Structure 1
Amino acid sequence: MSEERAAREGQVIMPFYIICDVSGSMYNDMAALNDGLAQLRQDIMKDPVVDDLVMLSVITFDDSARTVVPLTAPTDVELPRLGPGGGTTYGTAFREFHRAFEEDRKRLKGEGKRVFRPCIFFLSDGEPQDRDYLQTFQSLLGYDPTTKQGNSAYPYVTTFGFRDASQHTMEAIAYPNFGESNKRGRWFLAKNGQAVGELLKSMAGVIGQSVLKSGQSVGTGAPQYVAPTSVAGMEGSFV
């Protein structure tokens, strides 16, 4: 095996999953969401080194969830034009992420890659209609470091809520009780009166910067998820 091939096969990959609410209430915001995703991709591609170290996937959800962009390098991402659907069910999104990541991790490890803990950016404009969404979240993604029970590959989660989404819900998903003393989740909530279109542009910008900085950390030999620090027009918290 050549040294170049060996290095490529042992390469660290940082997987990022953007989970977008496309329920019916997002009808007037789809153009801004599509434009934001396209700009995010372009921003990441400006750094060719990062383009080799990170992978992106897009999952959409309403009454159901689907992977519309399978996990791949930003250069190879083909973004569909997203359209609005039905209701808002968070549990479907968590189930689809769990299914997709398990398959992605198996594939990447089969290629000799080292897979970093997955990172989720979760965007929603409303409250979940499925009351058991937190149980779904915990059962699929939760982990107890004391008993070693649950999903040891649980993701870092950063949530963005706007319109009818509440702080309680965004915080509950960003700060799962996994028993860590240094949780890395972060939540952001739109301030009153902020235009959703402008918020989506701001979100896309900070997500792009987070991905870039996280990818650049791989070159230091100590890869880490670099969470967003602020979003124009939104308030938030970080532990």
Structure 2
Amino acid sequence: MSEQATEGQIVMPFYIVCDVSGSMCGDMAQLNAGVQALRDEIMKDPVADDLAMLSIIAFDSTARTVVPLDTPSEMAMQPLQCGGATNYTSAFQEFHRAFTADRARLKAEGKRVFRPCIFFLTDGDPTSTDHGQVFQQLLAYDPVTKQGNKAYPYVTPFGFRTASEASMKALAYPTFGEKKGRYFRAKDGTSIGSLLKEMAGMIATSVLGSTMSATTNTLQYTPPAVNASPVMEGSILD
């Protein structure tokens, strides 16, 4: 989706959805450092800080918005904490709740809201059984019948440890939208610390690239490049 940047103030909402289940407890320091580095990198660019808005959603057995949607320089950062299962369903429900409220608030402020983007970070397959159904019910849109969520998000998942290729594909290649999805999985033997650092860098590059499209008077989501990292394997649907 693209928007003309000259037609009023436009914001690009990005949601960082982080798995903080029990298996992540040994990695929380690196995860928190990665999220902070991501925010700091985007803040350095005045265009990105003006156009991009970030939110941090954490999920385990339940999900919650840890950092509400705001410009990077105004974000009230809070540390992520771990525990619980890997409930994808709760993550999708919390994103839908949060973005619905955020979109209404921003529109009431006179802003134009670009299609939301989700960066989904997980180290495992879902323990929930209804996540696929909930994903379709809340986020899907049928461009033929015009039914469903017209404000459907772009989703870019990052999987590591036991997160399977099948689970990542299901999020990256939904049956709606005009863009080809892509997903990323960690290469074998990669340390979690370096992996989380690479993820943060790839997400920051994507956000910066997306907002820089405003310089050509067109906003366009720029997903991470599939060959952007030596420790992540990327794939695009042919």
| TM-score class normalised by the smaller sequence | over 0.9
Shift of 1:90: 0.1
Contact 1:57 1:70 (8 Å CA) reproduced: yes
Relative to structure 1, is the Cα distance of residues 8 and 144 closer, same or farther in structure 2, using a 3 angstrom cutoff?
closer
TM-score normalised to the size of structure 2? 0.94
User: Match of 1:223, SS?
Assistant: strand
2:42–2:49 contact (8 Å) kept in structure 1: yes
- Residue pairs, 1:89-238, within 5 angstroms: 89-178=87-176, 180=177, 182-229=178-225, 230-238=228-236
Residues in 2 aligned to 1:82 and 1:156: alpha-carbon distance in whole angstroms: 24
- CA deviations on 1:5-64 (whole Å, 9 max, x unpaired) are xx9992110000000000000011100000001110110011112101110000000000
Residue in 2 aligned with 1:63?
61
Deviation at 1:221, TM superposition (A): 1.4
Calculate the TM-score normalised by the size of structure 1: 0.94
Contact 2:172-2:181 at 8 Å conserved across structures: yes
Q: Any unmatched runs of 5+ in structure 2?
A: none
Shift, 1:220, TM fit: 1.5
Which runs of 5 or more structure 1 residues have no equivalent in the other structure?
Answer: 1-6
Q: Take 2:7 and 2:55, find their aligned partners in 1: how far apart are those partners?
A: 21
Q: Which runs of 4+ in 1 moved over 2 A?
A: 7-10, 182-185
How far off is 1:196 after superposition? 1.0
Letter in 1 for 2:210: S
SS of aligned partner of 1:20? strand
Shift of 1:184: 3.7
Query: Percent identity among equivalent residues?
Result: 61
Q: Please tell me whether the aligned partners of residues 6 and 217 of structure 2 are also in contact (alpha carbons under 8 angstroms).
A: no
Distance in 2, matches of 1:177 and 1:9, equals: 30
| Aligned equivalents of 1:8, 1:66: Cα separation in 2 | 34
- When the two structures are aligned, how many residues end up with a matched partner? 231
CA contact (8 A) 2:56 2:68 kept: yes
* Amino acid paired to 2:128: D
